[in-house]
Amino acid sequence: GGQEGGESENPKTYFHEENLVMTTRDLFIAGMETTSTTLRWAILLMMKFPEFQQKVHEEIDQVIGTDRHPRLEDRKAMPFTDAVIHETQRFGNIVPLNLPHATTADTNFRGYFIPKVIAIMIIIIIRIAFLTASYGFRKRDAFMPFSAGRRACAGESLAKAELFLFFSTLMQRFRFQPPPGVTDLPLTAIVGITSSPTPYKLCAVLR
Ligand code: HEM
């Protein structure tokens, strides 16, 4: 951006150093932990349910093969992998309490008076299935890991692209399995602002 309207000349501008630093920080916090936590859930679930891992491998071999990297366009032809990623996001439910939202002023909404206070919204993710009987992918409106409305996740499409590309690239190259002797793979979550899997070890075996 130009210097015009910058910090020094216009005290009301939002373009100042603190805002730039905080916005950049937001992108790192909102964008990295979320995607990597989802991938940690995905790999854990693949180890827990090897028959599903097998089906993902088969779909990747059929649609992408081994000679090239996965591309975003491949997703359309990969309903099973798409459903696995959606199911991972549903099961992992990694931002279980959404983010707190606050009214900045006393507000009247559809007959309700909402004073100037913090109101916390809670996402409820219900039980839904993403596969049809014939293994087609089915979109579900109740799937809302990115929340909804004006303040929904700003990185939703980036996150979806990352999840598909990282997950299918990892699965193209590796079979994930627990280390020798490990038979118990707990799916217990550690809940903070994000909900993440209990730390686990894995073997990534080249396919
Ligand atoms: C699996 C990955 C992700 C999930 C599940 C997720 C989920 C969420 C949720 C639930 C919110 C709160 C929405 C609300 O307040 O109603 C949010 C906000 C936000 N997310 Fe994400 N997110 C993910 C990835 C990303 C990525 C990759 C970025 C950017 C690089 C990002 C940037 C943001 C930002 C900037 C906000 C605040 C939006 C606002 O307050 O207007 N997120 N995200």
Question: How buried is residue 44: exposed, middle or buried, by Cβ count under 10 Å (0-12/13-18/19+)?
Answer: buried
Is residue 120 lining ligand 1, measured as CB closer than 6 Å?
A: no
Output the residue whose Cα is nearest ligand 1's atom 22.
153
Instruction: Say whether 153 counts as a known binding-site residue.
Output: yes
Minimum mean pLDDT range among 15-24, 27-36, 114-123: 114-123
- Closest Cα partner for 35 from 99, 88, 96? 88
Asked if residue 78 lies in contact with residue 101, where contact means CB atoms within 8 angstroms, the answer is no
- Closest Cα partner for 85 from 116, 125, 117, 52? 52
ipTM computed for the complex: 0.98
Tell which atom from ligand 1 comes closest to the C-alpha of 38. 1
More confident call, 145 vs 203: 203
Name the DSSP class of 33: I
Section 145-169 average pLDDT = 93
Whole-number pLDDT of residue 176: 98
Is residue 21 lining ligand 1, measured as CB closer than 6 Å?
A: no
- Closest Cα partner for 116 from 106, 101, 125, 108? 106
Measured distance CA(204)–CA(113) in Å, rounded: 55
Is residue 129 lining ligand 1, measured as CB closer than 6 Å?
A: no
> pLDDT band at 123, cuts 50/70/90?
low
Compute the distance from residue 51 Cα to the ligand 1 centre, in Å.
32
Is residue 88 lining ligand 1, measured as CB closer than 6 Å?
A: no
Model's pTM, two decimal places?
0.88
Whole-number pLDDT of residue 122: 61
Q: Is CATH 3.60.15.10 the right assignment for the domain spanning 10-206? A: no
More confident call, 143 vs 44: 44
HSE of 103, CA atoms in CB hemisphere, 13 A:
11
Whole-number pLDDT of residue 1: 45
Average pLDDT of every residue of the chain: 88
Compute the distance from residue 1 Cα to the ligand 1 centre, in Å.
25
More confident call, 11 vs 144: 144
Measured distance CA(12)–CA(115) in Å, rounded: 27
SS3 112: strand
Output the residue whose Cα is nearest ligand 1's atom 31.
155
| pLDDT tops 50 at residue 30 | yes
Task: Encode pLDDT of 162-176 as tens digits.
Answer: 999 999 999 999 999
Is residue 159 lining ligand 1, measured as CB closer than 6 Å?
A: yes
